[in-house]
Chain A
Amino acid sequence: MKKSYQSLEDNPTNNMKQVIYCGLTSKIYSLCIVLLLTFSTTLIAQEGDPVNGKSLFNSNCAACHKLDKPMTGPALRNVEARLADEEGLDREWLSAWIRNSSSLIKAGDAYANKIYNEYNGVAMTAFPQLSDQDISDILAYTAAPAPAPVVVDGPKGEPVDQGGVSNNLILGALALLFALLAMALVLVRRTLNRFADAKGIDVVTENKRLPIWKAFAQNQFLVLVTSIFFLLASGYFVYGYLMQVGVDQGYEPVQPIHYSHRIHAGDNGIDCKYCHSSARVSKTSGIPSLNVCMNCHKSISEVAPETLAEGEEFGVNYDAEIQKLYDAVGWDGTAYTGEAQPVKWIRIHNLPDFAYFNHSQHVTVGGIECQTCHGPVEEMEIMYQHAPLTMGWCINCHRETNVKVKDNEYYTKIHEELSKKYGVEQLTAAQMGGLECGKCHY
């Protein structure tokens, strides 16, 4: 455990704050209204439910608001009380603002205009679908006191360490025990010899027998067999060693930014080709340019405490990693400074120059899942090379994989004629010519 964090994000939202699109489609609006109408009760709920409020906040407000820090919009901790105390505005005003802020602004409300101008003239998205109950739930959530900073420190990691220590201790003790036993044996043997000496008993010594190594050396057949064995074994190992030269399976370099595929592709379920978009049309999958990262990370500057805690297990502070992205792209939290520092990623999958591989052929035409070659990326905290990327590995797949010919006019005729020729239902890539040297080497 490297360090504990003094000031943690004390926002008890679960996991990562979600981003919603500012303009929800009208369908969702109407659906929500219907639902609300069905379930809404006539009572005017003054006391909101902070638990429900939290989920509503996360789904509706978190894209632009935080509780304790101004973002696109102002910080919302105790907003109701604050407004009442400082501006003398009641919940009615607040409800009106939430449901349709622009009409308030147009109507010339002083505070509404002040806020509007303060935040660069960006009007807040209207939420007409929120019921009074919803609003009071949200406000109840915002009124909840700030939790004391959670200090995440060592204890979580310690047991592992202790386990390590105790294991070592046990092993050490066992070793000591064996050493003692061995010593005892030697001692006993010596004592017995001494007794025998004292009593004049001749200890039968076997010095007339040839030592085993001599006997072995004299047995030419055994020597031959053994040397053949050793030669073969060393040949095997040398071959094995040489064959893995240049094969970097499991290569997991430390990257300049700790980017977690587990969170992005796994937890958040972002499609691979959202970031690696050129895999669809190009030979390279493309390392996403930083503006793609900023599509989301403009509004995600910090991760949820749970995620942060997960990061502890990997010894990484995700918030700091996001900050590295901001430094690279030149984002100061509100605007681009123009001082960019390109990220020098370390390339993991390195095909030799003489091998041609085209992503779009496999991804778009062949419809192969990325995971087939790249492994369980959605579980990888740090990307590593899953496949050996050797020619044998390529060829095996070409032998086993059927060509995806459905609805592709290009293949219709070729497939029909070739499958007839080979007498198969479905052609493999190899039968389509996928084993020819020149298909990959030119």
Chain B
Amino acid sequence: MSSNKKYWKSVEELNENSSIVEALQQNEFVEEIPTDEFLGDKESLESSSTSRRDFLKYVGFSTAAASLAACEGPVIKSIPYIVQPTEIIPGVANYYATTIANGFDFASVLVKTREGRPIKIENNTDAATNGIANARVNASVLGLYDNLRVKAPMKDGSKITWGTFLSETTTTLKGLNGKAIVLLTQSMPSPSTNKLIAEFKAKYGNVKHVAYDAISESATLDAYQAKYGKRGMANYDFSKAKTIVSIGADFLGDWQGGGFESGYATKRIPDHGKMSRHIQFESNMSLTGANADKRVPLTPSEQKLALAKLYSEVTGNSAGGVKLSDGLNAAVKAAAKEISLAGRNAVVVTGIQDVNAQTAVLEINAHLRSVAFDPNTTINTRQGSDKAVSQLVADMKAGKVGALIMAGVNPVYTLPNASDFKEGLAKTELSVAFSMKQDETSSVCQYIAAAPHNLESWGDYELKSGHYSMMQPTIRPLFDTKQFQEILMSWVGTTGSYRDYLKSVWTKDILNGASFNKAVQDGVFVTRSAGSSKGVGGSSTTIETSSTELKDKKDRTFLGGVIHDVAVGVGIKDEDKDEYVTTTSSTTVNNAGTNNADVTSVLTGGAAARALAKTKVSDGMELTLYTKTGMGDGQQANNPWLQEFPDPITRTTWDNYLTVSQADADKLELKNWNVANGGLNGSYAKVSVNGAEAVTVPVIIQPGQAKGSVGLSFGFGRTSKALKEEMKTGVNAYPLYQNFNTIQSVTIEKAAGEHEFACVQLHNTLMGRGDIIKETTLEVFNTKDKKHWNAIPQVSLNHVETPVTSPDVDLWDEFDRSVGHHFNLSIDLNACTGCGSCVIACHAENNVPVVGKSEMRRSRDMHWLRIDRYYSHQDSFEADDAKKDGFEGLFGDNGSLGGFGEMENPADNPQVAFQPVMCQHCNHAPCETVCPVAATAHGRQGQNHMAYNRCVGTRYCANNCPYKVRRFNWFLYNKNDEFDYYMNDDLGRMVLNPDVTVRSRGVMEKCSMCIQKTQKTILDAKRDGRLVKDGEFETACSAACGNGAMIFGDVNDKDSKIAALKEDDRMYHLLESVGTKPNVIYQTKVRNTSKA
């Protein structure tokens, strides 16, 4: 060392007298390391018989044993049937038409079973009128294999036999001494069940049947009943409407039982330059609002005023002085003008749970004689009456109810006054809950009558008047369960099975000579005289007089006399439709029906509107309670598929939250922020409704939320033994649901703490990147060339702009795909409403694992198909594009530096676009070229294959994928206690699709374009020796999409739908400029806005 410099590692060394330096010269550590803390005390260590050497021996031996054992194959046993059922061939799927009717969701479905196990729910395309299977219905198959189901009848928490149950309950029922027996059921539009209930009433006397909906449509029912004389909800067919004005109606969600999206979507695809126009007035950003052409955010009380104004504008009747802000006034007037222009082709709907509002809407539609409005066909899937339920709780508390028998309801969870209900329940002599779970209600009842899942039951449902849907078992009951109807029969003393009973009811009352077996096979049955239904409880006769007149009195042949059928307009040729005016007047004579007692005095027409107009605009915050697409009323909260399903709007999983507008959030100092790992955090807020106990909820700042309003969803915050710990997420909103009103005025204050969300997409905007979502307006679409609104990206080749589709600018040589099949999937951004059925269908078909909240937060979600949601910074995406293109330089007013930062924030009322993204199956796939082990390779049929057994998990492919659709198995998600969702127990694993590999840890996976389904279709054709017809090829997502947004097929079949779509002007590829040549194509979104 040439210099005398002193080097020192710590300032302590400069201190000459430091004892530490001295100590450190001798020892590595200054003090003795407190090894005892983790090794335990010395004595026990010494007395231990296991020495370190022993430990190493064991480790060595077990490693060697494990590796040796791995070389020996396991002995696998196969047990054939003793007598094989003729309909089951191992390895071949059977399909059964049935119905899911759990009280909240009603849908006619097809169930795919393999080796006798239902594994997937698909749409029953024969049941066109009943809507499609939504995400929750698709997921309900998993509920069948829920490990926490009640496996036998129980009394006070211990198992009993059905014999004991029956004898004990029958004795109690008979010895009630005149006290009332109340049947509290879900909405039960079931002819045979209602007949059974009538028989039960006749036998026991003093029986009341109360239908109860967790989320009430009572106001709608009351308004309809007052106007049309029977209880129901008017049917709407949005495929007939040209102008739709919705005031707070989330009709693409669960409004009036849902099921309207497919009708709506058909008119959203521009056809010959025409598409429907949709104006939405709402406070929460709903799925419906996100799809609207024009969305006006306004608070719930303003909605009522707007409706009153709209009523007076459209009908011309005065609604009294309606005071609206100027902007709103103009918006309502504009909407009214559009309605008047559309005339009969317009329709107005509302979701305000207020009899006056509902009456006003009925009046408007009747006044318009809207073709989309069909008051004669009622929707029967909601029957509950708020009054009856409140009366019941009061009666129970007063001790007037002797026996309470519940089926399909969970009032202790869903009632706002659950404590009153519990108090009343304790006063009953007999309480029975027919339930699949030990849920909040059944666990406080005396008896739990173990109920079967819908897929194990018989049943019949008149979903709309005249439209019957049949429920048949698709598997033998897994547990010792009995249906509500079976037990009713035993109580009444009817012998035979419920199936026979149902058959006799159908043969006598419904089928009118048609075959019962065929009805079971089809799953649906439509009576010719749909519209006049016979009530079972109380007889009501509807006398209908219909007359059809020629509008312009031209001399034409009168078509078939009275034209009135299943839906208005059937029987009239399309070209004649507009020429006719069908007037239908109904007079209903209601003879002392049970429902009659519930009729409230309802104002009519102008009076209702005037009452609405008197609504005071509240100064405080208004809360709108809503249902999430994934969770609904919360009865499927133990379904991990649904918990992990990202909400279409907020893209948040495993949670509910208070949605607040940016302005209000600033005022209340509520914040959302992203932390280092990309996760979203948010503040908590305390929400209280007029003095009731406050709930503390996490906050999400929601673009598009009306100022002065907040939203909170039902269905979360479940407790009880019905759920696994992981599923007890979110906050229960039902206590805020006072008086069964979804609109509440609330006080909100910031609460301490911060909440960690599992949100899979940030709330940023598209930043004007038009090559991801291309969109245009109908005007531009109709008047200008494709190159103006869907130009092919250009790249520079030797300083000459060349279209990216040109082979000259391609890195890869083109492979000839003209022979055989070449699959393409088209996604129409116009028809996609973001409903998410496809996400769950993909989950079920492809054994996609559930990873849980904490993994979701780390962006390790496994969904093969995601639905991206984009907001715009300006009023429209096009304005975003213009702003981005207008950037000049880095700084200044038009500078990109500040400009892009600004653009990250969505507008107060942004436009929204949904885009399903799955593996794009690029013909020139970037992932394939980087795989070091050739685990991912391209097939001739256009699919990008993934050989799991070959993958070593380098994740290069995921890094190189421009679409970020590859998913990595960070853990073993099956048979792993750390991921105790459905793949961790034998029961849950029964839902797995045996044709798709269950992936293991360390393996990359992604959408396979359902190659197992395309291969099966090909094989079927080969076996039959025929060509594959168009429409036979399906993927799980395209089959689940009832909106026609996803079309799958073979583009080499030149006559196919997909081949035409590929040549469509609206067609574009995602990130086309990258030159990946994907096999998934998108159709440009066209908005029906006149504004550019």
Does B bind A?
yes
Q: B-contacting residues of A (Cβ < 8 Å)?
A: 245-246, 248, 251, 253, 278, 281-284, 286-292, 328-330, 340, 342-347, 350, 352-356, 358, 360-361, 364-365, 407-411, 413-414, 417-418, 421, 433, 436-439, 441-442
Check A418–B78 contact: CB distance below 8 A: no
Q: How far is the CB of A187 from chain B (nearest CB, A)?
A: 48
- B947 in complex: contacting residue of A344, A347, A417, A437, CB < 8 Å: A437
Q: B931-960: contact bitstring with A at CB < 8 Å (1 yes, 0 no)? A: 000010101110101111110000000000
Cβ–Cβ contact A438 & B943, under 8 A = yes
CB-CB under 8 A for A358 and B92, given A410-B1027, A436-B939? no
Q: Is B80 touching A342 in the complex (CB atoms < 8 A)? A: yes
- Check: B79 CB closer than 8 A to any chain A CB: yes
Q: Are B949 and A352 in contact (CB under 8 A)?
A: yes
Contacting residue for B1025 out of A282, A328, A350, A410, CB 8 A: A410
Answer whether residue B55 sits at the interface, using C-beta atoms and an 8 A cutoff: no
The answer on a CB contact under 8 Å between B82 and A290 is yes
Residue of A nearest to B944 (CB): A438
Is B1015 an interface residue when CB atoms closer than 8 A count as contact?
yes
A248 near B73 (CB under 8 angstroms)?
yes
Q: Which residues does B use to contact A, with CB under 8 Å?
A: 70-71, 73, 75-84, 89-92, 816, 818-820, 935, 937, 939-941, 943, 945-950, 995-998, 1008, 1011-1012, 1015, 1018-1019, 1021-1028
Contact of B1015 among A248, A340, A437, A439 (CB under 8 A): A439
B816 touches A421 (CB 8 A): yes
Interface of B is mostly: loop
CB-CB nearest in chain B for A350: B76
B918 CB, min distance to chain A CBs, angstroms:
15
In the complex, the answer to whether B1025 meets A409 with C-beta atoms within 8 Å is yes
Closest B residue to A253 using CB positions = B75
15 A-B pairs (CB sep. < 8 Å): A253-B75, A282-B90, A283-B91, A289-B81, A345-B79, A346-B77, A347-B76, A355-B949, A356-B995, A408-B1025, A433-B941, A437-B947, A438-B943, A438-B945, A439-B939
Are B79 and A344 neighbours in the complex by a CB distance under 8 Å? Answer: yes
A290, B1019: Cβ atoms closer than 8 Å: no
- Minimum distance in angstroms from B946 CB to a CB of chain A: 7
Q: Which residues of A contact B92 (CB under 8 A)?
A: 278, 281-282
Asked whether, in the complex, the Cβ of B84 is within 8 Å of the Cβ of A245, the reply is no
By beta carbon, the residue of chain A nearest B846 is A442
Q: Tell me, rounded to whole Å, the shortest Cβ–Cβ distance linking B64 to chain A.
A: 15
Q: Beyond A347-B76, A347-B77, A442-B1011, is A342–B82 a contact (Cβ under 8 Å)?
A: yes
A421 and B940 CA atoms in complex are apart in Å by: 14
Q: If the complex has contacts A284-B91, A365-B1023, A433-B940, are A350 and B73 also in contact, measured as CB distance less than 8 A?
A: yes
Contacts of B949 in A (CB 8 A): 352, 354-355, 441
Return A153 CB to nearest CB of chain B, in Å: 35
Extra A-B contacts (14), CB below 8 Å, given A421-B816, A442-B1008: A245-B71, A251-B73, A343-B80, A346-B76, A347-B77, A354-B997, A356-B1012, A358-B1019, A361-B1019, A361-B1022, A409-B1025, A433-B820, A439-B939, A442-B995
Give B25 Cβ to nearest chain A Cβ, in Å: 48
Q: Contacting A436 at CB < 8 Å: which of B70, B937, B1024?
A: B937
**Interchain nearest-CB distance for B1006 vs A (Å):** 11
Partner of B1023, one of A287, A364, A442: A364
Find out whether the CB atom of B1022 lies under 8 angstroms from the CB atom of A291.
no
Asked if A438 and B84 sit within 8 Å, CB to CB, the answer is no
Closest to B819 in A: A417
**Measured between alpha carbons, how far is A120 from B707 in the docked complex, in Å?**
88
With A287-B80, A340-B82 already in contact, the answer to whether A360 and B1008 are too (CB < 8 A) is no
Alpha-carbon separation in the docked complex, A441 to B935 (Å):
10
Between A342, A346, A353, A411, the greatest number of chain B beta carbons within 10 A of the residue's beta carbon is seen for A353
B81 closest partner in A (C-beta): A289
With a CB–CB cut-off of 8 A, which chain A residues contact B948?
A: 354, 441
Measured in the bound complex, the distance between the Cα atoms of B79 and A438 in whole Å is 30
How distant is the Cα of A410 from the Cα of B947 in the complex, in angstroms?
Answer: 27
Instruction: Write out the residue numbers on chain B whose beta carbons fall within 8 Å of the beta carbon of A246.
Output: 73
Inter-chain contacts of B996 with A (CB < 8 A) = 442
Q: Please tell me which one of the listed residues B89, B940, B1027 contacts residue A282 in the complex, with CB atoms under 8 A apart.
A: B89
Distance in Å from the Cβ of B156 to the closest Cβ of chain A?
A: 37
Nearest A residue to B1028 by beta-carbon distance?
A410
Q: Could you say which of A248, A283, A438 contacts B939, with CB atoms under 8 Å apart?
A: A438
Contacts of A413 in B (CB 8 A): 1027
Q: Are B998 and A353 in contact (CB under 8 A)?
A: yes
Give which listed residue, B84, B940, B945, contacts A291 with CB less than 8 A. Answer: B84
Instruction: Please name all residues of chain B whose beta carbon is closer than 8 Å to the beta carbon of A421 when the two chains form the complex.
Output: 816, 819
Please indicate the chain A residues that have their CB under 8 angstroms from the CB of B820 in the complex. 414, 418, 433
Distance in angstroms between the alpha carbons of A346 and B71 in the assembled complex: 19
Q: A328 CA to B79 CA in the complex, in Å? A: 12
The 4 closest A-B pairs by CB, nearest first: A438-B945, A282-B91, A289-B84, A289-B81
- Contacting pair B1023 A433 (CB below 8 A): no
B90 shortest CB reach to chain A, Å: 5
Q: Across the interface, do A414 and B819 meet the contact criterion of CB distance under 8 Å?
A: yes
A210 to B1026, CA, bound (A): 83
